[in-house]
Amino acid sequence: MKKRVVLKSAAVIALASFLGAAQAQVTPIKFQLDWRFEGPAALFLTPAARGYFKEAKLDVSIDAGNGSGGAVTRVASGTYDIGFADLAALMEFHANNPDAPNKPVAVMVVYNNTPASVMALKKSGIKSPADLNGKKMGAPVFDAGRRAFPIFQKANGVGNVTWTAMDPPLRETMLARGDVDAITGFTFTSLLNLEARGVKAEDVVVLPYSQYGVKLYGNVIIATPKIIRENPAAVKAFLAAFTKGAREVISKPEAAIADVKARDGIINAELETRRLKLAIDTVINSPDARADGFGQLNAGRLALMASQVSDAFGTKTRVNPDAVWNGSFLPAKAELNSVLPAPRK
């Protein structure tokens, strides 16, 4: 009898050790979004909801953000392991903090083009970049489109403009009221915000940076040097699970919005579905994205962007394109290239 009890005890101990070891293999990941739980957040919330991160032995917690600059800073501080941020904001951090011990690195491109655009009401008479000469423009001082406007300005020979600063919620309101002639902002944000303020889409002129000579990359997945150094397998697993989820989101955006709604019950599902589709069509599944390949980038384009950001942002040091990008954790090209379907007609 004693022998049987001992054997049972040994089996229980062995099972507990096995389960403990299995549990220990799960890597916790703190992930920082660039913005609130809106349509595009489905790209990360869906792989979490479907269990893809869990299958990859990752315990991923996803927090809303308040801008790309904050996302970069929080990943740099080590508060978050991985994040989602505008590549220009990452470049600026690198160039302005050359001695920072933990500069995050971009490991995957998600928005192949910057979502920034200039928007104006048709009744203003603005039809092209040249019509912006001498006009009053509005945007928050930290807006990505405003920060990059000198690049747009140079590419299109735009003369001097006057800037008015405001808090983000007032940007579209001031354009609708006529307080400013044009604004900069992310297309899939400002266009829908204008509609919410009673402005019809057909009454808005949209000048996307990507269609007017500005080939800046948009948002990328960034990782802290610590996790890259200490657990590169976790970075690779995260990108593989994300890619699987992104393929699902891009093919069925309506269904993916349910995962956003589960995180923020007050969102307007119809509005956020439109926002997600607009993001997919304009910056994720764009002609440039299909040329580079999902998740990937073109070295020449990256180098040009680094130079342009250095000039436009007036950084302390020049941006080193080799220091901000590490594509070694990406899934195989065949897997990446299967993410993007034919563009919607």
Q: Note whether 27-113+217-337 and 116-211 share their fold.
A: yes
Q: Residue 147 — very low, low, confident or very high, per pLDDT cuts 50/70/90?
A: very high
Give the SS3 label for residue 76: helix
Task: Determine if the pTM surpasses 0.85.
Answer: yes
Q: Residue 341 — very low, low, confident or very high, per pLDDT cuts 50/70/90?
A: confident
- CATH of the structural domain 27-113+217-337, one choice from 3.20.20.70, 3.40.50.620, 3.40.190.10, 2.60.40.150: 3.40.190.10
pLDDT at residue 44, as a whole number: 98
Comparing 88-92, 141-145, 315-319, which segment has the lowest mean pLDDT? 141-145
pLDDT at residue 1 is higher than 60: no
Comparing 70-74, 141-145, 326-330, which segment has the lowest mean pLDDT? 141-145
What average pLDDT does range 163-169 have in this prediction? Answer: 95
Q: Where does 116-211 sit in CATH, by number?
A: 3.40.190.10
- Please give the mean pLDDT across all residues of the chain: 93
Tell me the C-alpha to C-alpha distance, in Å, between residue 118 and each of 59, 142, 178, 254, 303: 39, 15, 15, 28, 24
- Do residues 296 and 327 make contact, with C-beta atoms less than 8 angstroms apart? yes
Write down the domain spans for the chain.
27-113+217-337, 116-211
- Residue 316: which residues within 8 A CB-CB, separation 6 or more? 95, 96, 98
pLDDT at residue 21 is higher than 50: no
Give percent above pLDDT 90 in the chain.
90
pLDDT at residue 220 is higher than 90: yes
pLDDT at residue 342, as a whole number: 73
The type of residue at 152 is F
